[in-house]
Amino acid sequence: MTGKAAFLRPLRMRLALILYQALLHLALPALVAVMLVRYRKGPRYPLRFADRFGFGPRAPAGAIWVLAASLGETRAVNPLVDRLLTRGNHVIMTHSSPAGLSESRRLFADAIARGQLTCGYIVADLFWAVEAFLRRNRPALGLVVESEIWPEILSRADRKGIPMVHVNGNITDRTVRRDAKWFGGARFLLFQAFQKILTKSEAHRERYLRIGVPADRVKAVGEMKFDQPVDPARSAHTARAGALRARWGEARRTFMIASSVRDEEDALFGLVATLLALPVRPRIVWAPRSPQRFDAVAAKAVSEGVRVARRSVALDADLTGDIPGDIDILIGDSIGEMSFYYQLADLVFVGATLSDHGGHNIIEPLAFGRPVVIGPSMFGITFPAVEAIAVGACESLPDAEALTKRVGVLFQNPQALADFTRASGRFCENYGGASARSLCELRPWLPAPTFSVRAAEQDDGGRF
């Protein structure tokens, strides 16, 4: 039930929320200054103050509000949002990062064009900004994706009787330990604000139970990333990647560095140097996690004296063009084209695992049948990393030295790489259906459809 929920009753929680708001308001000038600095660095950081303070794009009353912070969360919730759109609901999506907003616009371009989906930046967690957002949009249901927890959003939604559900819930052991140490468990009470928590595995469910969420509010439904639809862009990427691999030939295999973060770049450049010194000399495709690292990685590669091409220079917008076969490193300096890069690769390293960041998405490369290697840090991807490692579809190495040695062995042993590839190809066949199960669990709170497909067809001359 919403309205004066249990999580708001303890005095320590009410005092914590007051202190949180006071600190947030004191920090507001600094946060605005950071936004201005980022804006001056380039168009990837538009200001959009109206969004941040509750006065951004409006959705019709009764829409479903989806809070998908970054690129990963946006992709994860894509299958569920597709089902909500098909059902006839209006959806408003809000994001923390420019990459998340860009991906939302790409994935749901048709729904945006027909007025069924609205997207923008997430409202700042200031009580008056959240109040303005909720008054202007009046959502019927809120869905918080993965791990973003905003205290004021949850408490104000509860006061207004707006049910909130946590989907693809991703609480980790590390988060539980950190919150117990630094917040005395007070942050755990925020999870009581959710009418339901739909999480990825039984191990995740046990963590939610451990922090005090009632058992009847938590259900393991699986990982929605396994339900990613095959969109037209992916089909085009498959064709372009196949053509490029054919031109390159089989003389040199390809190693991909996917979603790397700054802290691990030095170690990865060491790995690259070792690989390029091998007799087989594999080619490297390097797609950093952050667009802000594109130039830095490219410049460092050039300074190392290797032959470098950048996707943005060598290929046109539709991926036509040519990349010379004698290049050593292709810098994947684009957003929304990871499926293209994965299909160029014979082996993939997934980043944020050599540094203590917990790992990025390993499902995408596995979905393409690419074997995956990672470093030791995987607290953010324990599911499905543990399962993938158990069946030989993924390998976790203890440090950069061990990773470098193992990758070198795989490229010099075609049979070992082939066996690894077969195991990865079988892995994703055993998973799927989380988005359908999530939709089923949402039924008690789903609003009636508010969008008429028939009306949209008529307004658009039948080109729906």
Per-residue confidence (pLDDT) for residue 424, from 0 to 100 = 92
Distance of alpha carbon 160 from its chain centroid, rounded? 29
185 and 305 belong to one structural domain: no
Three-state DSSP string of 18-46? HHHHHHHHHHHHHHHHHHHHHHHHCCCCC
For the chain, percent of residues with pLDDT exceeding 70: 93
421 and 444 belong to one structural domain: no
CB 198 within 8 A of CB 168: yes
What's the rounded Cα separation, in Å, for the pair 241 and 315? 12
Residue 417 resides in a domain: yes
Cα dihedral 336, 337, 339, 341 in deg (nearest 10): -140
Per-residue confidence (pLDDT) for residue 65, from 0 to 100 = 98
Identify which of 413, 414, 410, 359 has the alpha carbon closest to the alpha carbon of residue 382: 359
Residue 352 resides in a domain: yes
Range of the domain at 388: 245-430
155 and 292 belong to one structural domain: no
Residue 329 parent element (H or E): strand 329-331
CB 354 within 8 A of CB 360: no
Residue 143 resides in a domain: yes
pLDDT interval class at 457 (50, 70, 90): very low
191 and 273 belong to one structural domain: no
Residue 39 resides in a domain: yes
pLDDT interval class at 150 (50, 70, 90): very high
Per-residue confidence (pLDDT) for residue 304, from 0 to 100 = 92
Q: DSSP labels for 258-279?
A: EEE-GGGHHHHHHHHHHHHTST
pLDDT interval class at 8 (50, 70, 90): low
Residue 90 resides in a domain: yes
275 and 408 belong to one structural domain: yes
Q: Tokens in use for 239?
A: 């064709």
Mean pLDDT check: name the lowest of 44-48, 84-88, 175-179, 200-204. Answer: 44-48
pLDDT tens digits, residue range 333-361? Answer: 998 899 999 999 999 999 999 999 999 99
249 and 144 belong to one structural domain: no
Sheet bearing 91-95, strands edge to edge: 117-121, 91-95, 64-67, 141-145, 164-169, 196-199, 218-220
What's the rounded Cα separation, in Å, for the pair 373 and 329? 19
173 and 298 belong to one structural domain: no
Please report the sign of the dihedral spanned by the C-alpha atoms of residue 452, residue 457, residue 460, residue 461.
Answer: negative
- Count the domains in the chain: 2
Question: Average pLDDT of the chain?
Answer: 90
In terms of residues, how long is the chain? 464
Q: DSSP labels for 112-170?
A: HHTTSEEEEEPPPS-HHHHHHHHHHH--SEEEEETT---HHHHHHHHHTT--EEEEEE-
Residue 420 resides in a domain: yes
Q: Phi/psi at 375 (nearest 5 deg)?
A: -85, -165
What's the rounded Cα separation, in Å, for the pair 334 and 230? 19
Average pLDDT over every residue of 363-367:
91
Neighbours of 305 (CB within 10 A): 10
Mean pLDDT check: name the lowest of 57-71, 344-358, 368-382, 446-460. Answer: 446-460
Q: Is the pLDDT of residue 459 over 60?
A: no
pLDDT interval class at 1 (50, 70, 90): very low
Average pLDDT over every residue of 177-189:
78
- The amino acid present at 166, given as its one-letter code, is H
Burial (CB < 10 A; 0-12, 13-18, 19+), residue 131, is: middle
Per-residue confidence (pLDDT) for residue 41, from 0 to 100 = 66
Identify which of 443, 437, 433, 447 has the alpha carbon closest to the alpha carbon of residue 88: 447
Residue 229 resides in a domain: no
209 and 257 belong to one structural domain: no
Q: Is the pTM of this model over 0.85?
A: no
pLDDT tens digits, residue range 289-331? Answer: 999 999 999 999 999 999 999 999 999 988 988 888 889 999 9
pLDDT: is 34 or 114 the higher one? 114
What phi-psi label fits residue 196: left (phi over 0), alpha (psi between -120 and 50 degrees) or beta? beta
pLDDT interval class at 235 (50, 70, 90): confident
Identify which of 374, 398, 401 has the alpha carbon closest to the alpha carbon of residue 385: 374
pLDDT tens digits, residue range 398-434? Answer: 999 999 999 999 999 999 999 999 999 888 877 789 9
pLDDT interval class at 175 (50, 70, 90): confident
404 and 445 belong to one structural domain: no
> Is the bond preceding residue 279 a cis peptide, omega within 30 degrees?
no
Q: Is 337 marked active-site? A: no
User: Longest Cα pair distance anywhere in the chain, in angstroms?
Assistant: 68
Q: Tokens in use for 194?
A: 């959710």
What's the rounded Cα separation, in Å, for the pair 192 and 19? 20
Q: Phi/psi at 137 (nearest 5 deg)?
A: -105, -30
CATH code, domain with 359: 3.40.50.2000
CATH code, domain with 151: 3.40.50.11720
83 and 145 belong to one structural domain: yes
Identify which of 374, 376, 346, 347 has the alpha carbon closest to the alpha carbon of residue 361: 374
Please report the sign of the dihedral spanned by the C-alpha atoms of residue 180, residue 210, residue 385, residue 194.
Answer: negative
Per-residue confidence (pLDDT) for residue 255, from 0 to 100 = 98
114 and 81 belong to one structural domain: yes
What's the rounded Cα separation, in Å, for the pair 290 and 288? 6
Q: Is the pLDDT of residue 17 over 90?
A: no
Residue 371 resides in a domain: yes
199 and 249 belong to one structural domain: no
pLDDT: is 111 or 250 the higher one? 111
